[in-house]
Amino acid sequence: MTAIIAKFALGQIVRHRVHPFRGVIFDIDPVYSNGEEWYERIAVNRPRKDQPWYHLLAESADKTYYTAYVSEQNLLPDEAATPVPHPDIGEHFDKFGAGAYAPRRSLN
């Protein structure tokens, strides 16, 4: 079995290739793991499961904030790399600098 290597990193700001939203990566699954019912609801151009999938603190074009689950093939680096003002940023990250967020250090 070949190891799957993620193209993007925790704290990196990305944008969706098609839909008008961007976000900061707060978790990465090496392959799809969000359940069959959710996957079947993806109506058009269903992404492959055998690639990294990213959990994002997302910001839509109209400044709505939510979490998103996106396949690697549908993400691009966000060239602006400006902060994402999602209300949950502080739960996952300490600070913003050099176009990315620094993940919180675990106390364990």
pLDDT in tens, 9-64: 999 999 999 999 999 999 999 999 998 998 988 867 789 999 999 999 999 999 99
Task: Please check the confidence at residue 108 and state whether its pLDDT lies above 60.
Answer: no
CATH architecture for the domain at 13-103: Roll (2.30)
Sheet holding 21-29, edge to edge: 65-71, 53-60, 21-29, 13-16, 75-77
Nearest partner of 68 among 8, 7, 16, 5, judged by Cα: 16
Reported confidence tier of residue 93, pLDDT bands at 50, 70, 90? very high
> Residue ranges per domain, the chain?
13-103
Note the pLDDT of residue 41: 87
Rounded to two decimals, what is the model's pTM?
0.91
